[in-house]
Structure 1
Amino acid sequence: MSHSATQPPRRSKTYREGLTPWLFLAPGLLMFIIYVLLPIFQSIWISFHDWDGLGEKVWIGLGNYRELLDDDSFYVSLKNNVIWLLLYLLAIPAGLAVALFLNQTVTGIRLYKSLFFFPFVISQVVVGLIFTWFYAPDFGLFSKLFEWLTGQQLAVLADERYVTYGIIVAGLWPQTAYCMILYLTGLNNINPEQVEAARMDGAKRFKLLWYVVLPQLAPATFIAMVVTVIGSLRSFDLVSIMTAGGPYGSSQVLSYFMFEQALSEYGFRMGYGAAIAVVLFLIMMVFISLFIVRMLIQERNA
């Protein structure tokens, strides 16, 4: 009799303990659903329509996607995004190298940290303007150095061959600083006992870095990889500020191409812009899924 009397309170306590985490998560989950998941599904739905953003939506099925496959500007943007992706990944080893340099106790290290941290705190608009002046043919430092070395002027942002690479260099500056911060945080959490044990076993420099330090930096590397891939694929700010997709559309990327089609002089083609956004989203999901699967495999093997 007493056992049955005490059973309901025990169940009630277990129920409350199970419900409590969800109550704390509910506001965040609600915001995620409203501002992330719903817009994704709305964009997919809009991509199947011909719509100017104000009038009636006209269902055209895969019409926007078929048009996209025949659009030369789409392939230029896609090629530029691939270049962005490949070269932007250089920010990860560069950030690691800077973090290893700054993770020392030498005179003036705080000043060095401040200088390397500076690009991360300024906006992309400021970065774009700085590098626009840096590349300027008349007074830019890069142009003057290039002219001094070769005797010729080079207008990087006006040359179809080099404009994309010039913008990527501008993007690598703050991205390297961001990766540096991630690795500095990871280096502070490294187990010093493992490092000392490896040193006693004769591990030095590269072997110590490769076999002891880098495995413990795997979480920081994963975050840096995901953020860098996303940053390379949504590289809108710098393209907009530095070239507006020019010259002749040669520096366009998918995010800027989407904006140009949906919200500019091309007639507010929301459905076509949404189709570009869906393609960009799928590319991001493929890369991020590969990283997640690889990380899970590595954790299981460990």
Structure 2
Amino acid sequence: MFTVYVLWPIVESVTLSFYDWNGLYDRDGNFTGRFVGMGNYRELMTDPAFTTSLWNNLKWLVLYMLALPAGLFIAIFLNQTVRGIRLYKSLFFFPFVISQVVVGLIFSWFYAPNFGLFYKLIESITGKGVAVLADPNLVTYGIIAAGLWPQIAYVMILYLTGLNNVAPDQIEAARLDGAKGWRMLWYVVLPQLRPATFIAVIVTVIGALRSFDLVSIMTNGGPFGSSRVLSYYMFEMALGEYGFRMGYGAAIAVVLFAIMMIFISGFIWKMWRDERER
């Protein structure tokens, strides 16, 4: 199953990235692509739309990491035994349940000029509202904020599960030694949350790099292509308004896959090295 649905498509995408192909076969079912070697990759290097998409993806990667500390602190808060904690857990869990399409629509209304809550709030403070999704300098950050809402909830769930596995005897021993607050968190709790942190980093990196649905719902890559990310630009080139350039779209997909593997492999190597040192 893994070979058929993961490994083989990866090999096919890499192979296709060396061809100029419109996605069609001839009447006899023969492949009609023209081999161009590294031509698609050379074109990427001089494509301003690709540069914008790549830069936006880096913004997604950096800012999406805020989901880890935010999810951790919310999980620590929700791990308390206080009255009404189940209600609080339900409220914080809610963003993870709803669809990304719904999240995109909610934040589109939230940012909407003239009647959006965010627009009205800024207008009441500064006297002039801000149309976030119409501003090329702000649009990417507005979409990232929308993506962080469910992502923080996802990370929170991972850390809540991890906190249930924290050894109580180590906590008590640390308290007897005078550890509390940040020292307790850094030296006792976080080392035991290493598996949860590993999964949280992986899913957050993947979530940041495959940020297609929110961009599609909220802006369609606009205004003027300023909110494009690699996954959306890949769709535009392979299946969208720019024509059926399957080979070029595959080249974008290969670059996106390489970036993802660099980040994930680096983190796996660090985790492996830390485990060997213990």
- TM-score norm. by structure 2 comes to 0.97
Please name the residue that 1:13 is paired with. Answer: none
Matches within 5 A, 1:133-282: 133-282=109-258
Please name the residue that 1:45 is paired with. Answer: 15
Please name the residue that 1:32 is paired with. Answer: 2
Q: What is the percentage of aligned positions where both structures have the same residue? A: 72
**Deviation string, structure 1 residues 201-252 (Cα, Å, up to 9, x no partner):** 1001111111000000011011101110111011101000000000000000
Paired amino acid for 2:36:
I
The structure richer in helix per residue is 1
- TM-score norm. by structure 1 comes to 0.89
Paired amino acid for 1:84:
W
Matches of 1:182 and 1:265, distance apart in 2: 39
Matches within 5 A, 1:69-88: 69-88=45-64
Matches of 2:241 and 2:109, distance apart in 1: 28
1:288 partnered with 2:258: no
Per the TM alignment, residue 266 of structure 1 is displaced from its structure 2 partner at its CA by 1.3
**Deviation string, structure 1 residues 145-176 (Cα, Å, up to 9, x no partner):** 00000000210000001000000000000000
Across the aligned residues of Structure 1 and Structure 2, the Cα RMSD in angstroms comes to 0.5
Q: Which sections of structure 1, spanning at least 5 residues, go unmatched? A: 1-30
Matches of 1:68 and 1:255, distance apart in 2: 14
Q: Which sections of structure 2, spanning at least 5 residues, go unmatched? A: 26-31
Structure with greater Cα Rg = 1
Please name the residue that 1:58 is paired with. Answer: 34
Matches within 5 A, 1:78-157: 78-157=54-133
Matches of 1:265 and 1:157, distance apart in 2: 21
Matches of 1:283 and 1:296, distance apart in 2: 20
Paired amino acid for 1:271:
G
